[in-house]
């Protein structure tokens, strides 16, 4: 792909993802608005997930957590067997439509753990009886033990995940430092109930509008569904899609795609499992292949947090918690000019404000030494 096309696509995506909003957009916006616009935000790691919302909404950590208490957004397993933030009103139907609570892979894992159908059914009955109010994860495990189910070796995790995928329960607010779980019908009494076609159309449209330009394979990978179902979903919103052939592929954007600001796309410190990378089947547009192993050292989908400059991954970073502040250790792939370091420091300051503390940038040189 020509570099001019890559640059244009990167900037269009940054705007679509809510990472470079047009001038004049009000800030902050609600966590619910962000979740509705993106459809779902990957959040299997809690700290990464809350920053994915915060970096887009301009909210603090406390405000994101209040949005959970206020039942605007919930964290659950709607698709790909992975935890996401979704609008609370959409959690049930998304799980019922897109999740696969007893896929072949999960069934094999259940067998390895010795989890039987009786365990699954009993845990479901226990959840229905006891999770009318949020219960912390350790308390859920204790409840299972009390009724003869061994929660160790990730059995607790898989039973909870199964019943989240089925639409029975979802995560509630944090209790102490632990996630909680609650019956979705108690926590979200007003769930939307779209038809199958309406649900597929909603997900396809939200995805293309919030991630475009994308290919149909990107959407198939995001949903982890066959291309046939993906094409069915796209056909339902065909009149609202714009197609463009670039580099031998057809790319999709939405007719109402957010305007792309003039100039460069800014500097961001994004969490490790952010839609910026995880939301696409192919990441070559924003992550040069020669740097892939620096971001995913184990080539195992465990990403490092990324430094993003003008829509392209330009380095990695990590948070080091100190008693009175946080260190943000930034390791770019190449030497950065002083102007960009000032932008990095501004991005780190925004992250510190999100956490409610001061943030100090520590420069780590491309070769590993401190700059």
Task: Give residue-wise pLDDT tens across range 118-132.
Answer: 999 999 999 999 999
Residue 367 in this model has a pLDDT that exceeds 50: no
The span from the CA of 159 to the CA of 141, in Å, is: 10
Q: If DSSP states are collapsed to H, E and C, what string results for 61-130?
A: HHHHHHHHHCCCEEEEEEECCEEEEEEHHHHHHHHHHHCCCCCHHHHHHHHHHCCCHHHHHHHHHHHHHH
Residue 274 in this model has a pLDDT that exceeds 80: yes
Single out the residue in 146, 167, 187 at which a domain terminates: 187
Structure letter (DSSP) for residue 214: B
Residue range 264-276: average pLDDT?
91
pLDDT at 50 (0 to 100)? 97
Residues 44 and 115 in one domain: yes
| pLDDT band for position 366 (cuts 50, 70, 90) | low
Asked if the peptide bond before residue 62 counts as cis, ω within 30 degrees of 0, the response is no
Answer yes or no: is 235 within a domain: yes
Residues 107 and 59 in one domain: yes
C-beta of residue 149 within 8 angstroms of C-beta of residue 119: yes
pLDDT at 301 (0 to 100)? 80
Instruction: Name the helix (H) or strand (E) containing 3.
Output: helix 3-16
Specify the 3-state DSSP secondary structure of 136: strand
Residues 215 and 250 in one domain: yes
Residue 258's contacts (CB-CB under 8 Å, 6 or more residues apart) are 15, 16, 18, 21, 22
Q: How do strand 325-332 and strand 358-363 relate by DSSP bridges? A: parallel
Query: Which residue range(s) make up the domain with 318?
Result: 267-363
pLDDT at 370 (0 to 100)? 46
| pLDDT band for position 260 (cuts 50, 70, 90) | confident
Answer yes or no: is 79 within a domain: yes
Q: Which of 23-37, 183-197, 216-230, 261-275 has the lowest mean pLDDT?
A: 23-37
Residue 51 in this model has a pLDDT that exceeds 60: yes
Residues 150 and 225 in one domain: no
Per residue in 196-215, pLDDT (tens digit) is 999 999 999 999 999 999 99
| pLDDT band for position 371 (cuts 50, 70, 90) | very low
Answer yes or no: is 370 within a domain: no
Q: What is the pTM of this model?
A: 0.92
- The pLDDT mean for the chain works out to 92
C-beta of residue 173 within 8 angstroms of C-beta of residue 220: no
Residue 182 in this model has a pLDDT that exceeds 70: yes
Asked if the peptide bond before residue 213 counts as cis, ω within 30 degrees of 0, the response is yes
The span from the CA of 5 to the CA of 21, in Å, is: 20
Q: Which of 240, 237, 166 is nearest to 198 (CA)?
A: 237
The span from the CA of 352 to the CA of 253, in Å, is: 34
Residue 73's contacts (CB-CB under 8 Å, 6 or more residues apart) are 31, 32, 35, 53, 67, 85, 86, 87, 88
pLDDT at 365 (0 to 100)? 75
Residues 221 and 330 in one domain: no
Per residue in 286-295, pLDDT (tens digit) is 999 999 999 9
C-beta of residue 254 within 8 angstroms of C-beta of residue 240: yes
Structural domain count of the chain:
3
Residue 23 in this model has a pLDDT that exceeds 70: no
| pLDDT band for position 188 (cuts 50, 70, 90) | very high
Residues 110 and 40 in one domain: yes
Residues 310 and 214 in one domain: no
Q: Which of 72, 180, 89 is nearest to 136 (CA)?
A: 180
pLDDT at 107 (0 to 100)? 81
Residues 275 and 332 in one domain: yes
Q: Is the dihedral of CA 306, 309, 315, 318 positive or negative?
A: negative
Indicate the Cα dihedral angle 92, 102, 233, 91, nearest 10°. 10
Answer yes or no: is 55 within a domain: yes
The proportion of the chain whose per-residue pLDDT surpasses 90, expressed as a percent, equals: 85
Residue 351 in this model has a pLDDT that exceeds 60: yes
pLDDT at 103 (0 to 100)? 67
Residue range 156-165: average pLDDT?
93
Answer yes or no: is 260 within a domain: no
Residues 203 and 177 in one domain: no
The span from the CA of 29 to the CA of 32, in Å, is: 8
Answer yes or no: is 371 within a domain: no
Per residue in 77-122, pLDDT (tens digit) is 999 989 999 999 999 999 999 997 666 677 888 889 999 999 999 9
Residue 158 in this model has a pLDDT that exceeds 60: yes
Residue range 358-366: average pLDDT?
89
Residues 107 and 210 in one domain: no
Residues 214 and 353 in one domain: no
């Amino acid at each position: 792909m020509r570099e001019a096309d890559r640059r244009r696509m990167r900037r269009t995506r940054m705007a679509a993802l809510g990472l470079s909003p047009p001038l004049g957009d009000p800030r902050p916006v609600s966590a619910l608005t962000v979740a509705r616009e993106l459809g779902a935000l990957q959040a299997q790691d809690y700290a990464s997930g809350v920053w994915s919302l915060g970096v887009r909404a301009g909210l603090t950590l406390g405000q994101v957590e209040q949005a959970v208490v206020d039942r605007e957004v919930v964290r659950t397993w709607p698709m790909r067997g992975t935890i996401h933030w979704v609008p609370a009103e959409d959690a049930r139907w998304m799980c019922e439509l897109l999740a696969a609570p007893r896929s072949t892979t999960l069934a094999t894992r259940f067998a390895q753990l010795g989890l039987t159908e009786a365990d699954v059914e009993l845990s479901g009955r226990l959840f229905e009886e006891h999770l009318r109010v949020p219960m912390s994860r350790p308390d859920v495990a204790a409840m299972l033990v009390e009724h003869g189910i061994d929660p160790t070796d990730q059995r607790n995790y898989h039973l909870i995940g199964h019943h989240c995928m089925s639409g029975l329960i979802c995560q509630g607010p944090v209790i102490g430092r632990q996630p909680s779980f609650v019956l979705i019908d108690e926590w979200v009494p007003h769930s939307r109930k779209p038809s199958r076609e309406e649900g597929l159309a909603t997900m396809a449209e939200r995805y293309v509008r919030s991630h475009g330009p994308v290919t149909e394979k990107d959407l198939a990978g995001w949903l982890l569904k066959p291309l046939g179902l993906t094409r069915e979903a796209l056909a339902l919103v065909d009149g609202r899609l714009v197609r463009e052939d670039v580099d031998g592929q057809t790319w999709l954007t939405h007719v109402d795609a957010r305007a792309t600001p003039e100039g460069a796309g800014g500097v961001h410190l994004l969490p490790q499992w952010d839609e910026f990378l995880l939301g696409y089947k192919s990441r070559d547009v924003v992550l040069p292949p020669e740097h892939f192993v620096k971001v995913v050292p184990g080539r195992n989908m465990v990403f490092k947090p990324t430094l993003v400059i003008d829509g392209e991954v330009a380095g990695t970073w990590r948070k080091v918690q100190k008693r009175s502040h946080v260190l943000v250790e930034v390791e770019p792939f190449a030497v950065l000019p002083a102007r960009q370091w000032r932008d990095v420091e501004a991005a780190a300051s925004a992250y510190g404000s999100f956490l409610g503390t001061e943030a100090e940038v520590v420069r780590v040189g491309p070769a590993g030494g401190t700059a």
